[in-house]
Structure 1
Amino acid sequence: MAKQSDKKIAQENLKCLSNLKWGFIIVNAIYVCFRILYCFETFGFGIATLYFVTLGISMFLGAKLKSLGSPRFGPGGNVEWPGTDLNSKGMMEYMFDIIYVTWAVHIGSMFYEGVWWFYLLIPLYALYKIWTLFIQPSMFSGNEGTIPQEKSNRQKKMEKRQSKR
């Protein structure tokens, strides 16, 4: 009973990794069949470079997710280690987002080459997060320009007691 959460995480991770594997296969098979075989005359050096660079990025992230999320099973089939929860927030979520944006760009670029500019959303979003989480709070950490916080009832009572003394 104590290992139920480990079993659940291991099953979810295996399902997630299987979906990720099939997504890689399907998206890249569609791209290769359509773009390279059907529209080979438009598949120049620049497009090939963009495709293989972004494919490498998504494959690297997929391999990282697989290494982090693969569960280890014992000799009796019991879960020794469930793997890192792939449904967790933070870096896992960002890695999946980059893979999904890559797949969307690959599929969209089969029909319009301007879709490659959509891939710039990834570094722009990273800059936005760096700005809002690290740079802006450290630059504007003073009290000027901030809205005063409403005091809780407990704080008001404490101040009232101290003023009576």
Structure 2
Amino acid sequence: MANQGAKKRKEENARHMARIRQVIIACNVIYVLVRMLFFHSTFTWKHWIGLIVTSLAYFIPYKQLDKMATPSYDDDGELLDGGFDMTTGGVCGYLHDIIYITCFVQVMSIISGKFWYTYLVIPAFGAYQSFGLIKGFLPGGSSEEPYEDEKTRKKREKMEKKASRPKFVKTRTR
């Protein structure tokens, strides 16, 4: 059975995207029902803007994930690739994080508007990652070896020597 892995990945990606879609819809329904029906007297134009911002924060990463999960076919319609593996880290993981942070912010903003400050985690993490990347390009950045004192050096050498020794396994013979 050719392309069995691609077929399996295609099905996994379809289930994964459906699950993310359900989470997004559930968060929006909770927000709209609770905020507009129960707290309708405090619903202002700021809340409309918040709903638009969270909708965009859902839409952009979801569309990117959907593009990544889309399988590719050849000219004959045969499945070539099942799409990107959604369980990997990197950009895919960051897009998932944005969606989950948006879910948290949207639902918790029903309780207090101060939960909107949680969105600052996203640019703060981006700055942290960028700083690590930029630091690697600077002279004297990450290329230097950390200072190792005599005690630590001897301990490391002892562990390396111990690890390089052959291992013997005792077995019982009958």
Percent identical residues: 26
Q: Which aligned pairs between 1:60-99 and structure 2 lie closer than 5 A?
A: 60-72=60-72, 79-99=79-99
Cα distance in 2 for partners of 1:143, 1:64 equals 35
RMSD: 2.7
Structure 1 residues 64, 147: CA separation in 2 closer, same or farther (over 3 Å shift)? same
Residue 10 of structure 1, CA deviation: 1.0
8 Å CA contact retained: 2:135, 2:142: no
Structure 1 residues 38, 122: CA separation in 2 closer, same or farther (over 3 Å shift)? same
Gaps of 5+ in 1: 154-165
Cα distance in 1 for partners of 2:142, 2:94 equals 31
Cα distance in 2 for partners of 1:113, 1:142 equals 41
Cα displacement string for residues 23-47 of structure 1 (whole angstroms, at most 9, x for unaligned residues): 1211101111111222122222223
1:128 aligns with 128
Cα displacement string for residues 29-76 of structure 1 (whole angstroms, at most 9, x for unaligned residues): 1111111222122222223212311221211111121122023568x9
Cα distance in 1 for partners of 2:70, 2:88 equals 14
- Say whether 1:106 aligns with 2:106: yes
Q: How many residues align?
A: 152
Gaps of 5+ in 2: 162-174
Cα distance in 2 for partners of 1:15, 1:92 equals 16
Cα distance in 2 for partners of 1:54, 1:30 equals 13
Whichever residue aligns with residue 103 of structure 1, its letter is C
- Greater shift in the superposed pair: 81-90 or 25-34: 81-90
